[in-house]
Amino acid sequence: MNTRGEHVLKFDFSNCFKENLGTGFTVSELLTDASTVTHSLNYIEESVPGFLRILKTDESLNEVKSLEKWVQKFDSIVVIGIGGSALGNRALHSALKGFSWNDLSNNQREGKARVLVLDNVDPESFKVIIDKINFKNTLFNVISKSGTTVETMANYLVIRQLLENQGIPPKEHFLFTTDSKKGVLREIADKEGIRTLNIPHDVGGRFSVLTQVGLLSAMAEGINIEDLYEGAKKAVRKYINCEKPEENPLVVAALIFHKSIKQNKNISVMMPYSKRLYDFADWYRQLWAESLGKRYDLDGREVNIGQTPVKALGAIDQHSQIQLYNEGPNDKIITFIKVNEFSNEIKLPVYENIPDELQYLSGNDFSNLIIRELEGTAAALTNNGVQNMTVIFDKINESSIGDLIVFYELLTAVMGKLLNIDPYNQPGVELGKKITRLLMGKEEEDINEKIVKAKRRYLL
Ligand code: PA5
């Protein structure tokens, strides 16, 4: 908590340096390159990428709030989208509403909506979601910037048919969140008068959680989107205006990650010790992978750069992954996420007859145990020379989540600049989308059919 009583994020980088690891670089060695990051930050501030521009006004927030009354009529919101058009919604839901929200009654939720995400085209998981809702009081928010993504379009078509089969007017149960001018969804909306929200033209999917994409479902389930926005805006000021690079966690993190990539640490593990943040790690995986995984740099050189993001969950993955992280190839940098104050506590009992070996647990509590597990794991990794850092939450709330989102969006943008690549495109994703459409029988220009046929020859 800072002096104004606000919950702000803290960052512990101690285990990234020679002082603790016994190997690698010292704090002062790292900071000799600080000006490269501050220049990149200045460049990003001046070029105003979409994810920063949207936080300079309340346009996205106000557009979403204009639908508040209508949205309140629904018991459930089903987000139909994928990738950047779904992961942010799920991350906000898990972090700020927790796990049991969708199982509560309407009364217990005080009329706020349940939020479910239909992203895959796995026929079995589709049924699991559909079986949980009553179409008559469900709003389907179809989110797609391009308006062409096959999974989203397929889910939309099936839901539309199911609505029509029940005699429910699609116009009253669909909301399209899409580009303001282009795409099939825009065309259908214009023709049929379906309500829409605009996805800002300059914000790509994985940077869009704080636009209309993430805000509508968040508002519907009672997340305070003003506080989320305020937390995000404050974070922008904090990370961009910090005058001393050595006190700016964004500068220090960017320098550490940049060095780690240059030293062939090809894996970045995010390991929250709070299940509520596990879906945030999924959001981070997409952001880091799609933004930084690039074949060519901005000068057209083939660089095949990137860092594979991996998610793990504390304490569970201590019993699954940590052996490898400690003793396997030293090709990883680990980010732990620690939460100091949980919204629920479990006290361990004090028994008279408790076996001696378990006495240390007596009267303790789960939050203390899980935090000590994180600290023990970080210390073990440090002893093994594995770089690790910890992002610390006093408490998970709208403001601290806004801060976390901005931190990683800005960090990704800075990394793009340092690596001299375009963090906002995804040519590798586009190619796969095109080939899939071709395989499903749609004519696609610019695709060399041989790519597809050659792959088929490996079918055994
Ligand atoms: O980050 C991205 O750009 C992608 O992950 C997209 O969000 C994803 O492919 C879905 O695209 P669209 O919103 O166009 O349906």
CA 166 to centroid of ligand 1, rounded, Å: 31
CA 423 to centroid of ligand 1, rounded, Å: 14
CA 16 to centroid of ligand 1, rounded, Å: 34
Q: How far is CA 284 from CA 61, 374, 404, 425, in A?
A: 23, 20, 10, 16
Within 273-365, residue ranges assigned H as helices are: 278-292, 322-327
Catalytic residues: 290, 319, 433
CA 211 to centroid of ligand 1, rounded, Å: 14
Task: Identify the pLDDT of residue 148.
Answer: 86
Which residue's CA is minimally distant from atom 8 of ligand 1? Answer: 83
Ligand 1 atom index nearest CA of 86: 7
Ligand 1 atom index nearest CA of 199: 13
CA–CA separation, 11 and 394 (whole Å):
11
Task: Identify the pLDDT of residue 449.
Answer: 62
Give me the residue label for tokens 């396997």.
328
CA–CA separation, 390 and 126 (whole Å):
37
**Residues framing ligand 1 (Cβ under 6 A):** 82-85, 144-146, 149, 152, 204-206, 290, 426, 429
Task: Identify the pLDDT of residue 353.
Answer: 84
Task: Identify the pLDDT of residue 452.
Answer: 60
- Judge contact between 229 and 223, C-beta under 8 A: no
Which residue's CA is minimally distant from atom 3 of ligand 1? Answer: 205
Task: Identify the pLDDT of residue 141.
Answer: 98
Which residue's CA is minimally distant from atom 13 of ligand 1? Answer: 144
pLDDT tens series, the chain, 460 aa: 555 556 579 999 999 999 999 999 999 999 999 999 999 999 999 999 999 999 999 999 999 999 999 999 999 999 999 999 999 999 999 999 998 999 999 999 999 999 999 999 999 999 999 999 999 999 999 999 999 899 999 999 999 999 999 999 999 999 999 999 999 999 999 999 999 999 999 999 999 999 999 999 999 999 999 999 999 999 999 999 998 999 999 999 999 999 999 999 999 999 999 999 999 999 999 999 999 999 999 999 999 999 999 999 999 999 999 999 999 999 999 999 999 999 999 999 998 888 889 999 999 999 999 999 999 999 999 999 999 999 999 999 999 999 999 999 999 999 999 999 999 999 888 777 778 888 888 877 666 665 665 565 656 7
- Judge contact between 112 and 222, C-beta under 8 A: yes
Task: Identify the pLDDT of residue 2.
Answer: 57
Ligand 1 atom index nearest CA of 433: 9
